[in-house]
Structure 1
Amino acid sequence: MQNSGDRKKLVTQQKISEVENHGTTGYPHRLNFYDKPPLGDITIEDFETCALDRLRILAEIESSFVRNRPWDELKEITSKQCENYLPLKANTALLVDKEPQRKKDHVGHFVLRLAFCRSEELRRRFVKAETALFRVRFETDDSEERTEFLKTRKFGWEDVSSEEKKHFHEELKAASPWTTPEVIASETYVKVKWTRVPDLIEKRRVFLKGGMAYVPTRELSSIILQEFQANLTRALEMTAKALPFLDEDTRIIPILDNLSQGFLAGISSEWSTATASSGDEITADMIDDMARKHFPACMRNLHECLRRDKHLKHFGRLQYGLFLKVLGLSIEEAITFWRRSFSNIQEDKFNKEYRYNIRHSFGLEGKRANYPAKSCQQILTSDQPGTGDSHGCPYRHFSPDNLQTALLSMYSSQGLTSVDLPDIMRTVKAGHYHVACTRVFEITHARQGVAKGQGVGGGESVTHPNQYAARSRELERELEGVTTKNEDGGDVVMVG
């Protein structure tokens, strides 16, 4: 008969066992080739959230490609992004519920398949980014779990026997001149057709004999990644054929349209806190100074046009007004700011034609909705500017010559020079406007310690005008904190 202590111990062991097995039934491995679609019900909200969070990661991977980041840097940035938006703990994380994590990963992948199967360009970019994400996970996975995962799949390779390895010992040694004899002696090899490892052949890392490549196990990732890429390419082509059957679903199609249009525009994720004030409350008197120091090009252009013309058209007022609201401008200060800015307009006309719209954007009139500020994706893909308009994204909507002139005019006092323009214009020409904006942020905040490749933090790119401004203000406050400390007798810190 068990005493109370034994029963308590048994219950505790049972609970630990339940947690250990959590998430290993439906998804036994952290790695996934996504051969089977997810089953079961999913809400529209989860459908969109899973896709957007995964897209944030793929967007940063693509940005890393555009910026020619070395693989180790790309891997580090991607791992940080995954930890923030799409964590996938290994089976050795005993006290973590892994099932929801792996389900989110699974669902997000298949939603993005639906969004990016629509054209050859989208499929190509999706496959490239997904393959890079799989490679990051493969290289950072627990070695035992990775081996167990590989055993579940057939990659079509043939094990090289110890006798054959001994027979070709010198040839295998010659194919790995940088590897010690001890490592070669303990290494195992597989044989595949030489056409499956062209990258390894190009780098002279394999021994070829009779049309077969002898691949050491440390280089197996080349075969595995090629298999992943080929499978995903075929799957996307099949999904594209099935996509017309979804046309009648009015709930899903708008989400897929939004995902794919944003990705084609060169931006694919949104700043998650853009619906709330991103800093301390600001006043109308502060905006001129803030515009010079903290605004991205789109808002800097709107501010300068407003000061020059003492007016903005409807979409310009909407884009700039919502940005200022989220920045921390109250309704009272907003009315003061716009009244002063429209100094050529009579009081009666301002009250009749503009005051209502300002109050409406704050949710105080009409249907009383609290409108968020426009993200980079919305600015790039909706309400395209026409002649005489000031809204939009300068990186996309300005001519190359006008953009370069504008950037030098706006940011030369913050350290941007003509030497920086070729790098910026290269990304603009490639259609990666948010990468160009991010590079400008890095250059203009180098004095605050922002290095090339660091972005707005952790390598992350600009995806929202308010994100740009909020991070810029944050860096200024950090610098002011250092200065205050020095004046109080602390250590002197040199800032570049």
Structure 2
Amino acid sequence: MFKKGERKHSTTSSLKQEHPEVQLHSTTPYPHRLNFYDVPPVFDVTLEEFESAALARLRILAEIESSFVRNRPHDELKTVTDGQCKKYLPLNANTASLADLQSERRTDHVGHFVLRLAFCRSEELRRRFVKAEMTLFRVRWDTDDTGERNAFLKSRSFGWEEVGAKEKEMYKEELMAVPSSIKQSELRSQSDSGQYYKVRWTRVPDLVEKRRVFLKGGWAYVPEREQSSIVFQEFQTNLEKALDMTAKALPRLDEDSRLIPILNNLSQGFLAGVPSEWLSSSSSSAEGSGVKAEEIDDLAKKHFPMCMRNLHESLTRDRHLKHMGRLQYGLFLKVLGVSIDEAITFWRRSFNKITDDKFNKEYRYNIRHSYGLEGRRANYPAKSCQQILTQEQPGPNESHGCPYRHFSEDNLQSALLASYSAQGLKTTDLPEIMHTVRAGHYHVACTRVFEITHSRGGVKKGEGVGGGESVTHPNQYAARSRELEKAKQEKAENDRDAMLVDG
């Protein structure tokens, strides 16, 4: 493994050998916010940067995939994606004088190429990666400054020819007859000089399919307002070719035991639709925040996601959980804010069919171990959705795992209604939820359940756990649920105080 701060000399040197022509480029600052990622990073990268840059980008791509599953219109997808980018992967314009532009663009550059390594391994991964990256590029294109976007276009050759005045006049009627994909009201606000660009029709198959261009002699006459289609198609074509090349070069990385586990984790997370563990200040500060053992049952009914509701109900019913169930639920409770003393009290009360001696010998040590008080005294984090979905699948008589993935359809629907009908979930909501389950997007199903059961608290469809973000961690679900309840209580108290003042 790399030590913290250790450099990846072997990876860097191989990239330099394969791309000697880009060494000058690597020493030049990133001039544009938009990037076609033509050349790989040929500078030293620490293992920490290697992983963190990839995880930041993976969060964005996973949320884009969630938007596809939820059939978000492009404007809503753009708003959600732009918000996620600002949160996890900011990429400011050149006019942002206070931002560290080169650092932001370096992170973006490194993250893209790491994910190429992770997602070039199968046709399915490559297809999904290209689609998500295409969408991210389009969102950045739409939100880019017009001047900087034009500078980016001038910085590279797209192989188009500007149509001269004589040729435009020759085909004036045909060009004017082509319908626009842009509404007239939107067209007025865009820069459109009436310029046309000529490219081979195979370069713009989407415009040809939609009859948005005039075709003549194998050439497509693309109006300026549709110029972006040429750019997007070029980006997609380049990326597809690059992924094929990366897949052929990947076997040379198999000997590097430092990188393969990271790449495997990234690709598994993308397949599961969940990028990584939930990263929030509340995830660390919650520990020891004062949740009492006797409060857990009430919290489970109000604020727990389905996986933890299932574990809690199984524990209540059977007065026991097997090892993996205890581990998954115990770490969740730890991050929820249950102290070690309260945890021991809770588990002892729950395991009320065994003697004190048996509990102390067989269970107390493991509880203390999960809190970092025994063994190697590691501070174990709670399991993320990705880990729950991809690790330690439940067997017979086991209750851990993700119900959306591991329950049969009938059992899942019954469990959802039994657990959340009091919070507003109805039978009519199930078809939409089950559609995402059948498609394998389990965290999207969980997110939709969160929206439905918190609609009384003001959560709207598509809002997720905030800003359109999907659930990626059970503690994220619980923390946001408790925040909404607290805000509702504070509002009620303020309203009462206001009524008393008015009275």
Does the alignment reach a TM-score above 0.5?
yes
Aligned to 1:470: 479
1:483 aligns with 2:492: yes
Shift of 1:438: 0.3
Shift of 1:251: 1.0
Aligned to 1:276: 284
Please give the alpha-carbon distance, in whole angstroms, between the structure 1 residues aligned to 2:272 and 2:316.
Answer: 30
Residues 185 and 322 of structure 1: CA distance in aligned 2, closer, same or farther (over 3 Å):
closer
Aligned structure 1 segments of 4 or more residues deviating by more than 3 angstroms: 176-186, 277-280
Please give the alpha-carbon distance, in whole angstroms, between the structure 2 residues aligned to 1:261 and 1:139.
Answer: 30
Please give the alpha-carbon distance, in whole angstroms, between the structure 2 residues aligned to 1:373 and 1:450.
Answer: 26
2:235 aligned to 225, 228, 232, which one?
228
1:211 aligns with 2:218: yes
Aligned to 1:455: 464
Aligned to 2:18: none
Please give the alpha-carbon distance, in whole angstroms, between the structure 1 residues aligned to 2:446 and 2:193.
Answer: 50
1:270 is aligned with what amino acid? E
Aligned to 1:14: none
Q: Deviations over 1:268-308 (max 9, x none)?
A: 23210375143842001101110000000000000000000
Shift of 1:170: 2.0
Please give the alpha-carbon distance, in whole angstroms, between the structure 2 residues aligned to 1:434 and 1:261.
Answer: 14
Aligned to 1:162: 165
Please give the alpha-carbon distance, in whole angstroms, between the structure 2 residues aligned to 1:165 and 1:176.
Answer: 16
- Given that 2:41 and 2:110 are in contact with CA atoms closer than 8 Å, whether structure 1 keeps it comes out as yes
1:244 is aligned with what amino acid? P
SS in 2 for 1:213: strand
1:388 aligned to 382, 387, 397, which one?
397
Q: Which moved more, 1:440-449 or 1:191-200?
A: 191-200
Equivalent residue runs for 1:386-425 within 5 Å: 386-425=395-434
Shift of 1:138: 1.0
Aligned to 2:77: 74
Q: Deviations over 1:64-94 (max 9, x none)?
A: 0010000000011111111111111111223
Aligned to 1:103: 106
Q: Which moved more, 1:146-155 or 1:411-420?
A: 146-155
Give 5+ residue unaligned stretches, structure 2: 1-25
Equivalent residue runs for 1:285-324 within 5 Å: 285-324=294-333
Please give the alpha-carbon distance, in whole angstroms, between the structure 2 residues aligned to 1:389 and 1:189.
Answer: 64
Please give the alpha-carbon distance, in whole angstroms, between the structure 2 residues aligned to 1:70 and 1:475.
Answer: 27
How many pairs were matched up? 470
Q: Which moved more, 1:169-178 or 1:65-74?
A: 169-178
Shift of 1:124: 0.5
SS in 2 for 1:416: coil
TM-score normalised by the chain length of structure 1: 0.92
2:222 is aligned with what amino acid? V
- Given that 1:404 and 1:421 are in contact with CA atoms closer than 8 Å, whether structure 2 keeps it comes out as yes
Please give the alpha-carbon distance, in whole angstroms, between the structure 2 residues aligned to 1:348 and 1:179.
Answer: 78
Please give the alpha-carbon distance, in whole angstroms, between the structure 1 residues aligned to 2:216 and 2:208.
Answer: 12
Please give the alpha-carbon distance, in whole angstroms, between the structure 1 residues aligned to 2:103 and 2:314.
Answer: 49
Shift of 1:187: 1.1
Please give the alpha-carbon distance, in whole angstroms, between the structure 1 residues aligned to 2:193 and 2:263.
Answer: 50
Q: Please tell me the root mean square deviation across aligned C-alpha atoms, in Å.
A: 2.0
Equivalent residue runs for 1:240-259 within 5 Å: 240-259=247-266
Q: Which moved more, 1:426-435 or 1:24-33?
A: 24-33
Residues 24 and 148 of structure 1: CA distance in aligned 2, closer, same or farther (over 3 Å):
farther
Give 5+ residue unaligned stretches, structure 1: 1-22
Shift of 1:210: 2.3
Shift of 1:151: 1.4
SS in 1 for 2:284: coil
Please give the alpha-carbon distance, in whole angstroms, between the structure 1 residues aligned to 2:113 and 2:310.
Answer: 39
2:68 is aligned with what amino acid? F
1:128 is aligned with what amino acid? K
SS in 1 for 2:221: strand
1:90 aligns with 2:71: no
- Given that 1:271 and 1:467 are in contact with CA atoms closer than 8 Å, whether structure 2 keeps it comes out as yes
Q: Deviations over 1:449-477 (max 9, x none)?
A: 00000000000000000000000000000
Shift of 1:26: 2.1
TM-score normalised by the chain length of structure 2: 0.90
Aligned to 2:370: 361
Q: Which moved more, 1:337-346 or 1:259-268?
A: 259-268
- Given that 1:47 and 1:107 are in contact with CA atoms closer than 8 Å, whether structure 2 keeps it comes out as yes
